[in-house]
Amino acid sequence: MAEFSDAQLFESDEYSRERSIVFAIVVATAFLSVVAGVATIMAEANLAVAIGLLAVGVVLLAVAGGVGIGELDAYLFE
């Protein structure tokens, strides 16, 4: 098994603070979208709107994953 030092696990680069803020915003937005989709389904309202909200939430969670690991830094910060 590979050994990692604290410096490798908690590496801080020039965009780490901004990345954390963007990650938190995207995760919160994804959570709210999923909750709104579930609430729309539970209220037996428009099913198309509910499916759209759930899809947006899932896509935002995928984007949050990319932001969290730094894959989208080139698009966000440059």
Greater pLDDT, 46 or 5: 46
Q: What is the reported pTM?
A: 0.77
Within-domain flag for 16:
no
**Three-state SS for 15?**
coil
Question: Do the domain assignments include residue 5?
Answer: no
Q: Is residue 20 part of a domain?
A: no
Domain presence at residue 24: no
Phi then psi for 41, rounded to 5 degrees? -65, -45
Is residue 3 one of the residues assigned to a domain? Answer: no
| DSSP annotation of 71 | T
40 close to 53: Cβ distance less than 8 angstroms = yes
Number of domains in the chain: 1
In a domain, 10, yes or no: no
Identify the band that residue 1 occupies on the pLDDT scale cut at 50, 70 and 90: low
Residue 76: its H or E element: helix 73-76
Residue range(s) defining the domain that contains residue 58: 29-78
Q: Does residue 64 form part of some domain?
A: yes
